[in-house]
Structure 1
């Protein structure tokens, strides 16, 4: 399938998200803003309550209305009311429910009934979900009830994590008009594992005007890391690398921006390594502050690993942001990262979980201003070519439009 990067707006599209907003999911906000910049009408449907305590500053620019579907249900009467309302708006709803394949929960069904009604009332002609878990489960069922198409973006955790309950990605790929994933590594895995012929790769993108390039500062020495404090980010290996650097008598200054379940463990590791004076856990910060930290740092460390539960990163957005801005990056050879961080071309790659190799790479990059300049320039060129959000969003609109056109032709026939 050919994806046109400058595809114009199509009719109204509904974005189905488990939670909205989420501090770490800046890629979704970037995508919606890029659609709206060319006049694409978006409706956002959130399935679960907001749990965040911090929000990115770009959220205020999103114009799309947010509908928070009810997520708690009790007794048969409310369910019957939902079913009656859905069947009144969408006569096909009852037929869809009679053919349920057992892969959705009662909560999914109830929310899909509500979503099908909202779709009809708001004139939504296509649904797109992010992550192939609950959001896609609800979008799949609601789209069938409403007689429209759906697509979804599979990222990383939804592909590789070992969930306690099966996610039935095979059926979701089968029924989706199109499916998207964010790296060629993912695409090959999905096609090999799920026989997903309608899956395509569309990279996440950035607003390159906001993330303008400046050359790295020659005398910068600070190491920066940004991300949720969870196992797959590999920050425990970064702390060990910094301990190694200190043991060799090297100066170390590092900031780690983010929050998460591993914070107490990381603090304990920092204390045990006698690094409290050298590593600062900053907590979450607005994106504007993170950008400023990037402009003053020497290197971004992104030591991603495959978690013990199979969870892993696809293409961390923070790598895109740092490379766009001009900050040299060091990361690991996990999943699709080598498509972005090309060793000694657009950044440095080290084996996952190898603290010694990470320490060596950090020392090299910090100590070689010419290397940092070269990496920075080549990284920006790659971002401009392959990770511009206007191109990525246009490719998605092409998917939406082709789905709508195909279904309209079927109805006419």
Structure 2
């Protein structure tokens, strides 16, 4: 039994976790999900009904249920004083970033132990991984985690804490070679192995359609309406295309805090007849919509706060549908989108270059077909859900049990 520890489950934007759990179950793994928080999205994917895993939630807020958290620490101390004191020592040395995770750890350990879990896995090198590390040490079972993007690069993240996670885990998984190099630099020679397992797409469900829509051709953009998606630059690029008299319709799918700003930008550019903000859509809807697009625009940027995309799932979904992608050489994206081979890459935050690349796809159907065929082949070869998750499952099976207290505790100066 494997416990997946997540900050919030389910989340509408984290389709990759849902797909991974489903494929792990298909591979015969028993899973329980332990969520630190209850969801408040209000929308859930239809595939959620296929998940067999039990979901357990911690008390909603530690401040609201202090007795449950503190009593769990007392029980953990009585069960195994050595393990508890060893974990406590680390938590004290790693303050201030460790305390929230350590506070939650005994409750996670109790939930996982009750379910008969023999290993713990977390997604994101932030509160979920920190909590899971301490819980695994209290239980004496293997701990692994998957690092994505924001959890590595956002300016609020502590390089020291990430380095300690890398040294304490039995194995780190990450979604691109770009991330792997960064994590190996943070962890140094004492870190556990960092394995790149690419983000994935179900290439049996995301498949090419008969033909994209012709009148007008569709430029599709999908993602949360946040800075790192670069949608403001897409709107400016669409304004340039409109001024050139190019026929197209840009459909932006998603929700987020920049909705008002993007709507205002569309009005300022006077292109409301060319660009629409359409809100979030379900996976089945996207499976039908993607093959109709002439191109997927993913103009990702590195945000002012350091946040960035890792390897957006929507890029892989478009590739699987043989839809050419226009994106930027940010983080792991060039590992999927090879310029002029499986898609087109332009400099980030450059509406002119983005418009030029989109124009090429709007006027050259043969280029679209060539890039789309190559993109589909690359998606099947490197990013297939079935293959990548089975590889991930085999790595978890090979993880050794930890030796309590074996990893060194880092001082701040050692990790930077």
TM-score (norm 2): 0.91
Q: Distance in 1 between matches of 2:11 and 2:384?
A: 22
- Residue 154 of structure 1: which of 143, 147, 165 is its match? 147
Structure 1 residue 51 displacement after superposition: 2.2
Unaligned runs of 5+ in 1: 1-11
Query: Pick from 19, 23, 28: which aligns with 1:39?
Result: 28
**1:15, 1:77 → 2: CA distance?**
25
Match of 1:86 in 2: 76
SS at match of 1:59: helix
What corresponds to 2:166 in structure 1? Answer: 173
What corresponds to 2:125 in structure 1? 132
Native 8 Å contact 2:294 2:323 kept in 1: yes
Measured in 2, the distance between the counterparts of 1:323 and 1:177 equals 33
In structure 2, the residue matched to 1:305 is: 301
Deviation digits for residues 184-209 of structure 1, max 9, x if unmatched?
A: 11111221233245111000112221
Matching residue of 1:231: 227
Residue matched to 1:371: 367
Moved more, 194-203 or 174-183: 194-203
Counterpart secondary structure, 1:141 = helix
- Equivalent residue, structure 2, for 1:54: 43
CA distance in 2 between partners of 1:326 and 1:164 (Å): 36
Aligned to 1:314: 310
1:386 corresponds to 2:407: no
Q: In 2 relative to 1, CA 372–164 (structure 1 residues): closer, same or farther, beyond 3 Å?
A: closer
Q: Quote the offset at 1:43 in angstroms.
A: 0.8
What's the counterpart of residue 6 of structure 1?
A: none
State the distance in 2 between where 1:360 and 1:97 align: 55
Secondary structure at 1:400's aligned position in 2?
Answer: helix
1:216, distance to aligned residue in structure 2 (A): 4.1
Checking the alignment, whether the CA contact within 8 Å between 1:125 and 1:404 is kept in structure 2 is no
Is contact 2:100–2:131 with CA below 8 Å preserved after alignment?
no
Displacement of 1:133 in angstroms is 0.3
Worse overlay, 210-219 or 136-145: 210-219
Q: CA deviation at 1:334?
A: 0.7
Find 2:199's aligned residue among 182, 199, 204.
204
- CA distance, structure 1, for counterparts of residue 24 and residue 82 of structure 2: 30
CA distance in 2, matches of 1:323, 1:259: 23
Correspondence for 2:287 among 265, 284, 291: 291
Asked if structure 2 preserves the Cα contact closer than 8 Å seen for 1:215 and 1:326, the reply is no
Q: Which residue of 2 aligns with 1:121?
A: 114
1:65 aligned residue (49, 54, 64):
54
1:164 deviates by: 6.8
Question: For residues 323 and 120 of structure 2, what CA distance do their matches in structure 1 show?
Answer: 37
- Distance (Å, rounded) in 1 between the aligned partners of 2:328 and 2:183: 22
Distance 1:80 1:228, change over 3 A: closer
Counterpart residue number, 2:274: 278
Equivalent residue for 1:249?
245
Q: Does 1:144 align with 2:137?
A: yes
Tell me the distance in 2 between the aligned counterparts of 1:213 and 1:405.
44
Q: Distance in 2 between matches of 1:147 and 1:92?
A: 11
Report the Cα distance in structure 2 between the residues aligned to 1:198 and 1:43, rounded to whole angstroms: 25
2:327 is aligned with 1:331 = yes
Distance 1:389 1:314 in 2: 17
- Contact 1:325–1:380 under 8 Å retained in 2: yes
SS in 2 for 1:300: strand
Deviation of residue 88 (structure 1)? 5.0
Worse-matched range after superposition: 80-89 or 378-387? 80-89
Q: Does 1:219 align with 2:206?
A: no
**Structure 2 CA distance, aligned partners of 1:78 and 1:335?**
41
3-state SS of paired residue (2:220): strand
Q: What RMSD in Å do the two structures reach over aligned CA positions?
A: 2.1
Q: Deviations over 1:289-344 (max 9, x none)?
A: 12222121111100000001110001000000011012111111111101100011
CA distance in 2, matches of 1:179, 1:398: 14
Do the aligned residues in 2 keep the contact of 1:82 with 1:110 (CA within 8 Å)? no
Q: What SS class does the counterpart of residue 86 from structure 2 fall into?
A: helix
CA contact (8 A) 1:71 1:111 kept: no
Structure 2: give runs of 5+ residues left out of the alignment: 407-416
Number of residue equivalences: 398
Distance 1:342 1:116 in 2: 44
State whether residues 328 and 346 of structure 2, in contact with CA within 8 Å, keep that contact through their aligned partners in structure 1.
Answer: yes
The structure-2 alpha-carbon separation of the partners of 1:218 and 1:236, relative to structure 1 and needing over 3 Å to count, comes to closer
**Structure-1 residue corresponding to 2:10:** 21
Residue 223 of structure 1, CA deviation: 0.7
